[in-house]
Structure 1
Amino acid sequence: MLFGVVLLDMIGFGIVIPILPFLSPTLGADKLDIAMIIASYAVCAGLCGPFWGRLSDRIGRKPVIMICMTGAAACYGLLAMASELWMIYAARAGAGLMAGNLGVASAMMADFTGSGERARGMGLIGAAFGLGLVLGPVIGGLLSVDGSFLVPCLFAGGMSLLAVAAAGLFLRESLPRQHRAEQRAERAAAPAESLWALLGRTRSRLLLTQFVLHTASVSAFTYLFPLWVGDLLAWGPHEVGIVFGIQGAIMATSQGLLMGPLVRLAGEIPLLRSCAGLFLLGLAIAVSASGMTGMLASVFVGLTGATLCMPVLQSLTSRRTPAALRGRMMGAAASASAWGRVLGPLLAGALLTHFGYRTAWSCFAVVVAVYFSWTLAQPREDDHPHPA
């Protein structure tokens, strides 16, 4: 049921994202405004991720998920009614403030799954995310009739409200009142601890850094690729949409169906190394590619590797963290990912503007090489550090 709730919510998210660059100019936005509108969501999500995680440790995962989705629905409604540019800024910033779902859903999946199945469970969350980003833009495109964005925005809000209803009726709380009371007593008995201290105690400071590096590189990839093929191959939104649609289907299939068998076959750390290596290979191909074959190979190889890395990073994070603090830590991981989504496109845009595509691809290849080298330093025993 958690998969279905996340999927419904992400379909709403996916409907809105592709229409923002077209909606905003109708109210006087320039290219800088569009970038700032997109960044405002990620910044607010990065600021609020830890808060939602801590709150879910105290009042339960299910109420927080429902609160966040209700807030998202209200923001989609504001976007639908936007008649001035500031309303779009407010709607997207508000949606970012309410974007606690993925971190809390990851904590809920960690509650539901044992150590051996944790990566597979995180893969299902990733599959719902990917499938929503495939279906959402398709639905949004079909609903955007005659340049009107009212219907797709209202439909997105309706999907979030449907997800709220589904969660309320069918989603089981993974952290019942008795467990919360026990964990509250456990936290009270321990000395007060900052997030930085918690990251140090659980050996997770560098681990959370990988969330930033990973999402920054993925976001840069998805920012650069459409511009790259547009300039070199004269491709437009239709061709790029097909490529990203195929990649989204690969993402949903690999995370939903392949993650469990791959972890059982290889173990989490070896799988993480292999997938980070694929991501690096995709960027290396992009550095030297000059034709369609190389450009397509770079996106399918690179993003397929990146797709399989994230569930393993989430699994490692949850298993290094005491159950009483799991929501707080998964919220921090979601926040780190949000900051990566801010930094990646900004850095990629600056590199592209001043130095060109090859330098931009090369710099992010170096970033992923740092990420890959970190995976090589991780001990194999991290595959099963402690019981859930």
Structure 2
Amino acid sequence: MKDKRILTLFLTIFIDLLGFGVVIPILPNLAKSLASGSALPFNPDVAVGVVVGSFSIIQFLFAPIFGSLSDRIGRRPILLFSILFNIVGYILFGLSSSFVFLLLARVVSGFGSANIAAAQAYIADITPPQDRAKRMGIIGAAFGLGFVFGPPIGGWLYHAGGENGLRWVGFFTAALCGLNFILAWFMLPESLESKSVHKRKVSDTFKGLVTVWRLDVIGELFLINFIYIAAFSMMYGSSSVLWKEKYLLTPAGIGNIFGFIGICGAIVQGGLIGVFTKRVGVRRMLLWGCPAIAMGLMIIPLPEVGNTFYVVQAISIVLLSLGNGMMMPAINSLVSRNTPPQSQGRMLGLLQSTSSLARAFGPFIAMVLYHQFVSLPYLVGGGLMLVAFFFSLLLSKKLRVSDPDPVPNPSKE
């Protein structure tokens, strides 16, 4: 990374997502356990979807606002404030002793998730359009590395802490976010040169989405993104419960599986995105990602308990990593290409808001389906990706004419 700002931004996102990854192997089963001892109007399986989805509902409501605010006051303040929200959220997570308290912790952390939209806008500020897909992959690589180290660390801390395992996880994660704040404060300068004067309200989130979804190309990209994220999050929202209840995995074992997901994701998004972008192009990346994710989802619940479980999960993870590694930067890049420079933060914030809404619905729907039959979330998720593939085919015909894939210039490589 020749640009020090990109390196610093990568480290900032990585530390933040490392903290997020730490809670992944613990949160769903913790939510189900706390819900089982509470008088709630829904069953414990659905309670898992509520807790996991609450984080994303807050993202949905406020990510576009923070994205637009970053257009007006700059990227740096938004990044710093979002990290502070994460510190508070993870402290509350470590102190959670009831379902309601755990829900509150995830809501607060949801406010801190605005940094991804600001980070995407930051990259768009300092990157030429033809290089954005590759650099957007940096965010995916940070996600991947956060999953490489975060879930195994979380599973180990929860086990090593014994009765205080939850506090170990929460306070460790809050400390990571504190380190993140220091890093961003001293090493991340402002990237926005021309600031907008437009102010946004909470209601503008809904108005903006209605407007965006009517736009040619952009609206279709938002629809494909919604389906893709919803299907993918159905796996994340239910797999920890499946692996514990059907395959008897411990939090440490679940953390190790998510760690392997992170390794594959980091390899694909950090090392192969540049190759895919130059040799394949973002249009084909979008097309090829859909069936890869569909197949990866559908085979997750197929094996019985035994050695075949790990083989099938490994195949599934590779397919999911390839599909996700192609689709996420392709969608981000195509949205960015079709958006004026002064609206990058707002549009990417709206895209993240759409993703957040999908992540809220995905786990909730997954756990409703899981309560009926444990394999349903993965079969339905795979079916949704085939629908996304159909829409991608229709969009591909437009992109081939109006926004062809760039031909790389060897002299600039």
Q: Structure 1: any 5+ residue segments left out of the alignment? A: 186-192
Matched, 1:15 2:22: yes
Pairs within 5 Å for 1:124-135? 124-135=138-149
Q: 1: CA distance between counterparts of 2:223 and 2:122?
A: 22
Matched, 1:110 2:131: no
Name 1:167's counterpart in structure 2: 184
The 1:228/1:98 distance shift into structure 2, 3 A limit, reads closer
Identify the match of residue 38 of structure 1 among 38, 52, 73.
Answer: 52
The 1:271/1:147 distance shift into structure 2, 3 A limit, reads same
Name 1:374's counterpart in structure 2: 391
Matched, 1:153 2:174: no
Matched, 1:62 2:83: no
Name 1:253's counterpart in structure 2: 267
Name 1:190's counterpart in structure 2: none
Q: Report the TM-score, using the length of structure 1 for normalisation.
A: 0.86
Matched, 1:244 2:258: yes
Name 2:292's counterpart in structure 1: 278
The 1:109/1:142 distance shift into structure 2, 3 A limit, reads same
Comparing 155-164 with 279-288, which one deviates more in the overlay? 279-288
- How many residue pairs get aligned? The number is 374
RMSD of Structure 2 on Structure 1 (CA): 2.8
Q: 2: CA distance between counterparts of 1:84 and 1:233?
A: 27
CA offsets per residue over residues 249-297 of structure 1, 9 Å max, x none?
0101211111012101111101221222322232454587665344542
- What percentage of aligned pairs have identical amino acids? 29
Q: 2: CA distance between counterparts of 1:287 and 1:83?
A: 31
Q: Structure 2: any 5+ residue segments left out of the alignment? A: 1-7, 39-43, 199-205, 407-413
Q: 1: CA distance between counterparts of 2:243 and 2:87?
A: 35
The 1:364/1:88 distance shift into structure 2, 3 A limit, reads closer
- SS of the aligned residue for 1:155 comes to helix
The 1:84/1:367 distance shift into structure 2, 3 A limit, reads closer
Q: For residue 98 of structure 1, report the CA deviation from its aligned partner.
A: 2.8
Name 1:345's counterpart in structure 2: 363
Q: For residue 213 of structure 1, report the CA deviation from its aligned partner.
A: 0.9
Identify the match of residue 381 of structure 2 among 345, 356, 364.
Answer: 364
Q: For residue 302 of structure 1, report the CA deviation from its aligned partner.
A: 3.1
The 1:346/1:84 distance shift into structure 2, 3 A limit, reads closer
Q: Report the TM-score, using the length of structure 2 for normalisation.
A: 0.81
Name 2:103's counterpart in structure 1: 89
Q: For residue 244 of structure 1, report the CA deviation from its aligned partner.
A: 2.3
1:12–1:156 contact (8 Å) kept in structure 2: yes
The 1:140/1:281 distance shift into structure 2, 3 A limit, reads closer
Name 1:331's counterpart in structure 2: 349
1:202–1:321 contact (8 Å) kept in structure 2: no
Matched, 1:319 2:337: yes
Name 2:410's counterpart in structure 1: none
